Amino acid sequence: MFDVAIGLWTLIWSLNIAGFLGVTYDVVTKQKFMPESAKVAWIFTAFLFGSIVALVYTLDVKRSGRYEEVELEGDEEIRVW
pTM: 0.76
Please give the span between the terminal C-alpha atoms of the chain, in angstroms, as a whole number.
69
pLDDT tens, N- to C-terminus, the chain (81 residues)? 888 899 999 999 999 999 999 999 999 998 888 999 999 999 999 999 999 999 999 998 888 877 776 665 666 666 666
Complete DSSP assignment for 1-55: -HHHHHHHHHHHHHHHHHHHHHHHHHHHHT-TTS-HHHHHHHHHHHHHHTHHHHH
Q: How far apart are CA 24 and CA 9, in angstroms?
A: 22
pLDDT at 64: 82
pLDDT at 8: 93
Contact 24, 45 (CB under 8 A): no
